[in-house]
């Protein structure tokens, strides 16, 4: 398991949202590129970049910012936010992204990206956002009727997706601790897991580690790192 620092980009600035609310954003003086470089310097083994403008518009609004970040670091980068067709996926991989994170498109029009799913098998990650264990899409404004277990099974067996980022919406940006019971439940899905939401202090990292879940590849951490509540080097030492 590794710690994956998040770099969320809105208006070319580094921000963190609370439960995905664009009106409840916190801006940081550090630029997205500086944040990425700092996390690499502190021992990050991977970065999670999100184009929040793109997530709203459906266009790669911060493509140039993200491309420059990818070029400036030497660690793998996963990119998400508004990636809804083969061309955008191709462009991000062409820019050097190691992984692409797809969300709403998987439930609204998955056939439109079928070529990418086949071509980049193993490099496409499904981003599943959960509110009370229901899948939320379109900026968390809609819900999918299919259960998350059935959805994951379908994405794995039919489309070959093996790695899933699960975000606990109620915990996201709240600094209120992780939902360990949900992580345990997700571990039974027989896929690779990256957990997101609620990590607020080093004790959360310890608790997740103690679950001893072999399929848990990483934990995305955002606000706790930016606010100095978690030291990345100390967290890496625990792991």
Question: Catalytic residue among 8, 61, 168, 172, which?
Answer: 8
What kind and span of H or E run contains 89?
A: helix 86-94
Tokens matching residue 93? 């991989």
Alpha-carbon dihedral of residues 108, 88, 14, 126, nearest 10 degrees? 40
Q: Which helix (H) or strand (E) holds 18?
A: strand 13-18
Strands (E), 108-226: 124-131, 134-137, 142-143, 163-168, 192-196, 216-221
* Closest by CA position to 196, among listed 34, 72, 38, 19: 19
Per the annotation, the verdict on 132 as an active-site residue is no
Burial pattern 101-133, b for ≥16 Cβ within 10 A else e, equals bbbbbbbeeeeebeebbeebeebbbbbbbbbee
Catalytic residue, from 51, 53, 129, 204: name it.
129
For 38, 62, 84, 177, the CA distances from 184, given in Å and listed in that order, are 32, 35, 30, 15
Return d(Cα 61, Cα 57) in angstroms, integer: 8
The rounded distance, in Å, linking the Cα atoms of 236 and 238 is 5
**In this structure, are strands 124-131 and 134-137 parallel, antiparallel, or unpaired?**
antiparallel
Q: Cβ distance 9 to 52 under 8 Å?
A: yes
Residues annotated catalytic, as ranges: 8, 129
């Amino acid at each position: 398991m590794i710690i994956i620092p998040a770099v969320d980009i809105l208006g070319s600035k580094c921000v963190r949202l609370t439960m995905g609310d664009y009106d409840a954003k916190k801006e940081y003086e550090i630029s997205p590129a500086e944040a990425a470089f700092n996390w690499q310097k502190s021992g990050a083994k991977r970065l999670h970049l999100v184009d929040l403008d793109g997530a709203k518009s459906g266009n790669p609004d911060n493509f140039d910012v993200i491309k420059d970040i990818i070029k400036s670091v030497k660690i793998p980068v996963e990119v998400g936010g508004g990636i809804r067709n083969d061309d955008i996926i191709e462009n991000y991989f062409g820019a050097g992204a190691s992984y692409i994170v797809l969300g709403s498109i998987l439930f609204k029009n998955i056939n439109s990206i079928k070529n990418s799913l086949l071509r980049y098998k193993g490099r496409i990650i499904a981003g599943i956002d959960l509110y009370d264990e229901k899948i939320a899409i379109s900026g968390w404004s809609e819900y999918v009727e299919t259960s998350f277990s059935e959805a994951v099974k379908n994405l794995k067996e039919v489309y070959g997706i093996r790695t899933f980022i699960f975000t606990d919406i109620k915990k996201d940006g709240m600094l209120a601790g992780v939902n360990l019971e949900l992580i345990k439940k997700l571990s039974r899905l027989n896929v690779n897991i990256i957990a997101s939401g609620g990590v607020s202090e080093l004790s959360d990292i310890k608790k997740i580690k103690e679950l001893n879940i072999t399929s848990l590849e990483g934990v995305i951490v955002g606000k706790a790192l930016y606010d100095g509540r978690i030291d990345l080097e100390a967290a890496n030492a625990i792991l």
